[in-house]
Chain A
Amino acid sequence: MGGMLASLLRIIALTRKELLAVLKDRRARLSLLIPPMIQALIFGYAATYDLNRVPYALLDEDHSAASRELAAGLDGTGVFERVADLSRSSDMERSIDSGQALVVLHIGQNFQRQLLAGRSADVQLIADGRNSNTAGTAMGYISGIIADFNAQWRAAHGERASALQLVERAWFNPNLETRWYMIPGMIGTLTLIQTMMLTVMSVAREREEGTFDQLLVTPFRPHEIMVGKALPSMIVGLIQATGVLVVAQLWFRIPFAGSYWVLYAGLLLFLLAAVGMGLLLSAIAATMQQAMLYSMLFIMPFSLLSGFTTPLSAMPGALQDFTLINPLRFAIDITRRVYLEGAGLRLLLPDLWPLAIIAALTLTAASWVFRYRPQ
């Protein structure tokens, strides 16, 4: 019992020393606490697949009331901004190539006559596919506007409405705002980079400066050193995650559907796994530079192949298996589902136990390497 108390006291002392070492430098302090919130703010505005400004060019060869009405439908959305009225189809290439217009709407000559005759009239939509996702979204918006135009035309000209209607509804995010999905995902992503780097570098620096050997000859046991190195990073990680959470709720006003207890339980497991990986890498690395490289080698794939920006389900099977070692993948799923869907611990179990396994494996491996690594 006395042994455990002494061990606890040693861990607290080491944690305190580590926290002081990290936070005593004002620049380091700022570089750990301020960036996640600023990033959440800037990226929160940037990270959306929704479009709110689509420059388009109109090539209207019909010059009729109907073609003007269709174009007015686009102008009236507030999203589409007409940047050019083209007169020849050869002009289309120039406005797309130069990036002046994202889409060109081409209304052919007999548009109104066809419509009045009760026949279908075609319009052409040409989009700049250099970013095919953006182009696809813009074309989807226009298809919706044209569907509205069709319904109105039918109603005004006494035609029958469609016999089969599709009623659409979205759960958890009724207006389908991608921002609602991206920002909760940042709670884990923005935290991972600095937490993992901090862990990796703190051990590598002691090793490079030779103070790690000094630490080893103190009464500290290897696992105590590890806990002392892990706790400060986790504390910093929790503070960073809270910062992002505050921005999401107070600035972007994204409604929080779940429980904070569940969220923080998930975050703690995630940070434990991330710090475990960091400790393992730092145990292997000989210099700070190597430690840095190794951690980037993991952080980059982790943050990109986590489902943060592109969905996991679009990856080939082998890569989806690879993401099973990625703590961020589980953290992002947890934060999003707690945040938007109000998921409880039972629904999140498939995310929680892999994190626990990653944490257990990496921490065990790290403490083994710490003890037996040939210096």
Chain B
Amino acid sequence: MSAAAAKLARVRALIRKETRQMVRDPSSIAMGVVLPLILILLFGFGLSLDVRDVPIAVVSQDSSADAQGLTQAFELSPYFHPLLLRSLAPAQQLLLRGSVDGILNIPEDFARRLAQGDAQVQLLVKGSDANRARIIESYVEGAVGHWSAQLSLEGHAGGVAAAFGPVNVQTRLWFNEADESRYFLVPGLLVLVMTLIGGLLTAMVMAREWERGTLESLFVTPVRSDEILIGKTLPYFLLALAGFVLCVLSAKFLFHVPLRGSLWALSGVSMLYTLVALGIGLLISSAVKNQLVASQLVALTTFMPALMLSGFLFDLRSMPAAVRLITRVLPARYYVAVLQNVFLAGDVWAVLLPNALVLAVMAVVLALASRAVTRKRLL
């Protein structure tokens, strides 16, 4: 038997052993299949930055027709869920309790001053959640502007030149015309799921072998260290791919996120990222050889950064230079860039190629490093 054939036989035996172990422990299957499914369902439905049905208190201290008209504009708007009040004090209580997100105050002399051309309405928003507050402000600006524009169309004295300023902005949102936050959040979830399956599961498996000393007994067999690595990781690689397929299917058919790029570009880069995640898991577990520490380290170095620093939620360009530098060593950042393109924009090679290249380099470096660490312990 040639050396290559023997090598193949050894790897195959290892894979068979590892696969059996995986199949017999339902928790790994749960991790590979059930976890991604639960996560994509929960997050796909649960994560959204869209602001609709804003609970807002409309305090109308003026009973004129104009004030009623403005109040009605809020009642008819799909963005607001207005609560009509007559005085400010109870509205402020509601705001403190968190029952409403803002107060629109229409003062007593509203109609009189509108006729004179210098009316004011006040908006008080709860600023704690600044992102939401800003969106609410812009909705209210829109509703008030729209209402006063209608007034001017109807020839009302107060509405003159109110809404249509000299310069009008027409906005278009490319790749996501309907402005659905789900379109970028669901592809982003792939990163979290793949990171978790790839990194955490491998780290746990290897750390357990180190902790129990079974890896050292494997070292005395004819199996070589690179064969151990292949045999250990291949079953988990396939498990992660199963999770990937589930995620893509639900993104497309359940959440109706468009997949405008090619499937093979998506799969190719996803495999690269899975390899990187596996590599991190292997490296950390070989370095600390302790399940508790390994699992904590993997969660800290992969999951949280993938959530916070990958550009999945927060814009990378607005981070300070030092933090941007940190994001550059994070594989998740490159994967997110690819995912957002392949799903929403298509195969934009100017973005795909450089990011895929970085992931490929990371995969090779991590593979070599894992092999070095595993071999060193043989001595």
Contacts and interface: CB of A to CB of B under 8 A. Distances in A.
B293 interface: yes
Contact of B144 (A164, A171, A341): A164
B83 interface: no
A285 to B, nearest CB: 8
Nearest to A312: B46
A169 interface: yes
B137 interface: yes
Contacts of B307: 303-304, 309
B125 A27 contact: no
A311 B132 contact: yes
B30 interface: yes
A150 B130 contact: no
A160 B161 contact: yes
A21 to B, nearest CB: 10
B79 interface: no
A11 to B, nearest CB: 23
A42 B171 CA distance: 34
A164 B138 contact: no
In the complex, which range does the number of interface residues on chain A fall in? 35 or more
A39 interface: yes
Contacts of B318: 48, 50-54
Interface string A304-344: 11000111001110010010000000000000110011010
B314 A136 contact: no
A12 interface: no
Contacts of B154: none
A287 B207 CA distance: 13
Interface string B79-108: 000000000000000011110000000000
A172 interface: yes
Contacts of B160: 160, 163
Contacts of A375: none
Which of A120, A164, A305 lies at the interface centre, i.e. has the most chain B CB atoms within 10 A of its CB?
A164
A96 interface: yes
Interface stretch (A174-182, A262-270, A352-360): A174-182
Given A129-B177, A167-B120, A98 B351 contact: yes
A304 B315 contact: no
Interface of B: 25, 27-28, 30-31, 35, 38-39, 42-43, 45-52, 95-98, 114, 117-135, 137-138, 140-141, 144, 148, 157-177, 179-181, 183-185, 192, 196, 200, 204-205, 208, 288, 291-293, 295-297, 299-300, 303-304, 307-309, 311, 313-315, 317-320, 322-323, 326-327, 337, 340-341, 344-345, 348, 350-351
Interface of A: 25, 27-28, 31-32, 35, 39, 42-43, 45-55, 70, 96-99, 102, 115, 120-137, 139-140, 142-143, 146-147, 149-150, 153-154, 159-160, 162-174, 176-178, 180-181, 190, 193-194, 197-198, 201, 205, 287-290, 292-294, 296-297, 299-301, 303-305, 309-311, 314-316, 319, 322, 336-337, 340-341, 343, 347
